Amino acid sequence: MNNCIFCKIIKDEIPSAKVYEDELCFAFKDINPQAPVHVLVVPKKHAASVLELCEDDKELLGHIQLVIGKLANDLGVAETGFRVMTNCGKDACQSVAHLHYHLLGGVQMSEKMV
Which candidate in 38, 46, 98, 100 is catalytic?
100
From the list 69, 73, 85, 70, the residue with the least C-alpha distance to 35 is 85
Assess 94 for contact with ligand AMP (CB under 6 A).
Answer: yes
Number of residues that bind ligand AMP (CB under 6 A): 13
The whole-angstrom separation of Cα 67 and Cα 108 is: 23
Please, which of residues 27-86 interact with ligand AMP by CB under 6 A?
Answer: 28, 30-32, 40
Q: Where are the beta strands (DSSP E) in the chain?
A: 18-21, 25-29, 37-43, 82-85, 101-105
Chain positions contacting ligand AMP, by CB under 6 A: 5, 14, 16, 28, 30-32, 40, 87, 93-96
Catalytically active residues are 100
